[in-house]
Amino acid sequence: MLNPYWVDLHVHTALSPCGELEMGAPEIVDAARKAGIDIIAISDHNSADNFPAISERAEGCPVVLPGIEVQTAEDIHVLAVFPDYAHAAAFQEWLWKRWAKMPPTSNDPDIFGYQTVIDKDDGILRMEDVLLVQGVGYDVDTVVREIRASGGLAILAHIDRPSFSYPSVLGPFPADYPADASELSWRIDSAQAAEWRERYPQMTFIRSSDAHMLDALGRGHCTKMYLEAPTFGEIRLALSGEGGRRVSWPWG
């Protein structure tokens, strides 16, 4: 039997330099529960290192999936969502390989903000020294291909935005672009959203909070999906419209 679940696949934590320090494990879990969100993906820039903290804290409520918001060589953001931490960590290892050869810029907290790896009680485990908001050295097509080959879902992030989105950097993407979905910002209105749907009739669209602050978590900022259970596999089916699972149009 299919049931409606509220899904937010784009939530930042205190590990993202632009994420507020309030984005800790108990805080995110409490805010998601209060907002009635059933499934979240933790998707910090270029790293899944805070997934364990949020997942352990949530104890399944909400369901927490590991994700990474990849910044490609062209400065395009792509969401990668994985079934479990082992898959995410293996992908992250591939992602950071280029940086091993081509030393990345270090973070300057005074300019960019702190990048804090935490435990489930917000204890500080370490500060990430590599600036996470920089390109990883792979182009967008390579990143999308590798996410999918690694068992993940590849979602073009905030395609309506004037920066760090595929259309803003490279122009319109092909109608049959091999992403699992595209994300639209909750800030756009229903007429703007409808234009995207008309332009890309083959594409599945989701809406996510891209939360950097707790206030951004809410049902009005995410997507309702009809699933048999709140799992990664069911979300995959919904994005591809298989077995009756579906993504409801967020501006419905």
Contacts to Zn ion by CB under 5 A: 69, 77, 157, 164, 210
Q: Are strands 116-118 and 124-127 parallel, antiparallel or unpaired?
A: antiparallel
Number of helices followed by number of strands (H, E) in the chain:
9, 11
Nearer to Zn ion, 23 or 247 (CB): 23
Q: How far is the CB of 211 from Zn ion (least distance, A)?
A: 8
Nearer to Zn ion, 132 or 237 (CB): 132
Q: Which residue is nearest to Zn ion (CB)?
A: 77
Nearer to Zn ion, 2 or 170 (CB): 170
Reduced to 3 states, what is the DSSP secondary structure of residue 81?
strand
Q: How far is the CB of 6 from Zn ion (least distance, A)?
A: 18
Nearer to Zn ion, 157 or 247 (CB): 157
CA-based nearest residue to 14, from 54, 41, 72, 61 = 54
Q: Say which residues have a Cβ less than 8 Å from residue 126's Cβ, sequence separation at least 6.
A: 117
Q: How far is the CB of 245 from Zn ion (least distance, A)?
A: 25
Q: How far is the CB of 164 from Zn ion (least distance, A)?
A: 5
Tell me which H or E stretch contains 95: helix 85-95
Nearer to Zn ion, 118 or 157 (CB): 157
- Give the Cα separation of 12 and 80 in Å (integer): 13
- Give the Cα separation of 134 and 84 in Å (integer): 25
Q: How far is the CB of 104 from Zn ion (least distance, A)?
A: 18
